[in-house]
Structure 1
Amino acid sequence: MGSNSNSTPLFFFILYLAWAAIVDATTFNILDFGGASDGKTDNAKAIKSAWVKACSSQGKNNVLIPKGTYLSGPVLLEGKCNGPITFQLQGLIKAPVDVNSYSWFSFSRVDQLTVTGGGAFDGQGQKAWANNNCDKDPNCKLPISVRFDFVTNSVVQGISSINSKAFHINVLGCKDLKFISVRISAPANSRNTDGIHIGESTGISVAHSTIGTGDDCISLGPGNSDINIFGVQCGPGHGISIGSLGKYRNEEPVRGVVVQHCTLTGTDNGVRIKTWPDSPKQGIAANLTFDDIIMKNVLNPIIIDQQYCPWGSCNLKKSSLIQISKVKFNNIRGTSASPVAISIVCSKTFPCQDVELSEINLKYNGGDTSSITSNVDPRVSGQIFPPLPSA
């Protein structure tokens, strides 16, 4: 996904794979397993039964949720299946309004999974947002709408997630998983509703997708490598974030992230790296590239924050132990919603290394634009506006 010319053939190839997964597949319609599209019947058992039958059958198989409105409680869809399997969601699935589980839909330990169909998962999260106290209660648990746990060699294409109670999509321990033309939507005041959160995974891509929600459009936790984010429209939300990192002792490094050809509109942050100041153990975030990004009235367009401390829950007198290195910000332009368009605040203990900025043009409509740097000696090339402070 290095450029537009390289990404376009790949994009259409993945669309072809999603289509080919259904062709010549045996279809298991949930209506044949007791499902009902009346918006009242709990379809969890019917969906699970269709999945088990499809997963245990030989060859290519397809679980079909046809057009209509379906209610469903929590569903766990597990491998190992006897062949490639498709979850073809054409209809609208609604979650129960009341919070009653940590996860709603979960795909676990599946290889060669395709999720497609043009349908939507509706988390019905309005009540959960009103009662969200996760900033005060560390033990609070709200259900993630769709989880992908240890899923490999798979594609999610053309589906939507709306009004999740917590994260819309959570990716954990996955390898070679692609999200294409995904639409995610929740209002700006829907707290903790990250669009796609990725953790401990490799070979993950998010492309040509539209994400607007109440938290990070895309967030990357520890242990990720070879992550590509391409052609994403983000807003509202908190931007595209690497982190937070350094909160827990057993975190693995983050290496090899490319964010390219994206547009952020009205978000709290643009492209962001954030680490806790009181990290319990040394960590690494390296080889991070942000290229060809358009900012439209973004509050903090470019930000490295190694003093990330939400809700005053950490010790700001300490210094982050996360070493950030080999970071590139290139061709980032547009407008800032605040006077400080560039803020690179690094760790005193482990100053940022090998940070490069080139062709930056960010203007503040309210007046003069400025930048802040701390514990970093960045290399610059081409136009840099606002200019960085003198050393």
Structure 2
Amino acid sequence: MLWILSVQFLIQNVTNVDGGRHHNRIKKQKSEISPELAPADSPGEPPAVPADSPLTQPGNISSTSCIFNVSDYGAIGDGETDDTEAFKAAWKEACRVENGVVLVPSDQVFLITSTIFSGPCEPGLILQVDGMLMPPDGPDSWPESDSTKQWLVFYNLDGFTFTGAGTIEGNGQKWWDLPCKPHKGPNGKTLPGPCYSPALIRFFMSSNLVVTGLRIQNSPQFHVKFDGCQGVLIDSVSISSPKLSPNTDGIHIENTKSVGIYNSVIGNGDDCISIGPGCSDVEIEAVTCGPSHGISIGSLGVHNSHACVSNISVRNVFIKDSDNGLRIKTWQGGTGSVTGITFENIQMENVRNSVIIDQYYCLTKACRNETSAVYLSDVAYRNIKGTYDVRSPPIHFACSDTIACTNITMSEVELLPYEGVLVDDPFCWNAYGLQETLTIPPIDCLQEGMPQSLEESSLLGC
């Protein structure tokens, strides 16, 4: 009963519909960043779920919970038999009762096909994976009737916990090897034809979600995706895929509010964490990224769309061996705004494009110049230190020709070459802000004050 009350307390505090910072209510202590990836002087005292919390002990189930073991519903767990129907049956029964637990037992491998686990369900529903769960092995094994855009979908749930001591194995290799993937086509070119690859885990139109303790690996595309959700707590999760696996973002959020991502280790072939349009009140702390494409806001404004992102904090993070570090990327022609962004206490090691704002983001050479843009303002970089890959300038602020970036704050930014010597100085274009301290390398191109005019129409709707 104590375990159930503790989980319910955490879930109830995952979100504050009135806009409060839900995750600050969770008791915090020094985090445990992976000793294999953490630098000797990892900055700050990042938050953590208490060590005695049930969320840090996913193998324990309260005796008062209603447990629905998938094996009791016919799941074989041999890694070859399709166990989908057994999972659906267990879910259906657990959904009907309060504090239901769908249990995936340890020491077994369960194969299931693309499935939507939907609600509404009774409060306190838990999916606990202690064994291994995986999809069919590659596109040739994928049932023709199943969606090739997603595998596990959790829809219309409130107060749901996805946890366990087990592994979610994505079997992504054969998807990455498709000739339509850029790194597999002739001379690195994408070949024509359908090129869908499923996101591994998607949460859609749900609230008060907890994801903790799991190892998620080798996704065909995005590992974990949140779309249209409110109140999300991610803690102590490991996400991994090879450095060259395409489009394998670790955690992607869009149209999602009140998110806390803590104490996790992510290494993959794309963005470690990506934040899309419609996101606000996001807190990222004590996360280790690498290899990856760093932590990205965007891309935003594609196809002249309206995008709004606000109140994002990234603190006490270690980024290693990545193509990008802290990145904000927008397409020309978009509208909306990105405001209230804080990057603080960030340690980097051998990171290319360590600090970058790119308002000319484009995947081809055919993009035309546009007059409208997503407006960027109130972006702070504080205590950003470490080493960078000298193939690119460590600081790059390329803002729109017509709508300047404003209120950029630089403080205690010290970035040194990982190998060799500095090749290029920092780059700025139409970027305005303040240097609270001297920056290494010096960023003399950042303009003081404010531009004479701004395109106010770009702010409408945010």
TM norm structure 2 = 0.79
Deviation at 1:366, TM superposition (A): 1.2
Whole-Å Cα distance in 2 between the matches of residues 15 and 349 of structure 1?
A: 53
Q: Secondary structure at the match of 1:368?
A: coil
Match of 2:235 among 149, 172, 180: 180
Matches within 5 A, 1:1-391: 7-8=28-29, 11-13=48-50, 16=53, 18=55, 22-23=61-62, 24-57=64-97, 59-67=98-106, 68-99=108-139, 100=142, 101-131=148-178, 133=180, 136=190, 140-279=195-334, 282-315=335-368, 317-319=369-371, 321-338=373-390, 340-364=393-417, 365-368=419-422, 370-390=425-445
Retained in 1: the 8 A contact 2:387–2:416?
A: yes
Structure with bigger gyration radius: 2
| CA RMSD after TM alignment | 2.2
Count of residue pairs the alignment pairs up: 386
Which letter does structure 1 place at the counterpart of 2:407?
D
Deviation at 1:109, TM superposition (A): 1.0
Deviation at 1:12, TM superposition (A): 2.3
More strand by percentage: 1
Deviation at 1:374, TM superposition (A): 0.7
Q: Which stretch shifts more, 66-75 or 15-24?
A: 15-24
Structure 1 residues without counterparts, runs of 5 or longer: none
TM norm structure 1 = 0.93
Which letter does structure 1 place at the counterpart of 2:360?
Q
Query: Compared with structure 1, are the counterparts of its residues 127 and 139 closer, same or farther at alpha carbon in structure 2 (3 Å cutoff)?
Result: closer
Whole-Å Cα distance in 2 between the matches of residues 156 and 22 of structure 1?
A: 16
- State the Cα deviation string for residues 244-295 of structure 1 (Å, max 9, x = none): 001045534101110110000000000000001233xx21111011000001
Q: Secondary structure at the match of 1:11?
A: coil
Retained in 2: the 8 A contact 1:119–1:159?
A: yes
Which letter does structure 2 place at the counterpart of 1:153?
N
Whole-Å Cα distance in 2 between the matches of residues 82 and 167 of structure 1?
A: 29
Whole-Å Cα distance in 2 between the matches of residues 309 and 252 of structure 1?
A: 16
Whole-Å Cα distance in 1 between the matches of residues 240 and 124 of structure 2?
A: 29
Structure 2 residues without counterparts, runs of 5 or longer: 1-20, 31-46, 143-147, 183-189, 448-462
Q: Secondary structure at the match of 2:364?
A: helix
Q: Secondary structure at the match of 2:432?
A: coil
Whole-Å Cα distance in 1 between the matches of residues 355 and 27 of structure 2?
A: 26
Whole-Å Cα distance in 1 between the matches of residues 27 and 298 of structure 2?
A: 28
Which letter does structure 2 place at the counterpart of 1:115?
F
Deviation at 1:142, TM superposition (A): 1.1
Q: Which stretch shifts more, 245-254 or 211-220?
A: 245-254
Which letter does structure 2 place at the counterpart of 1:175?
Q
Identity rate, percent: 35
Query: Compared with structure 1, are the counterparts of its residues 283 and 265 closer, same or farther at alpha carbon in structure 2 (3 Å cutoff)?
Result: same
More relative contact order in 1 or in 2 (CA 8 Å, sep 6+)? Answer: 2
Q: Secondary structure at the match of 1:385?
A: coil
Deviation at 1:14, TM superposition (A): 9.3
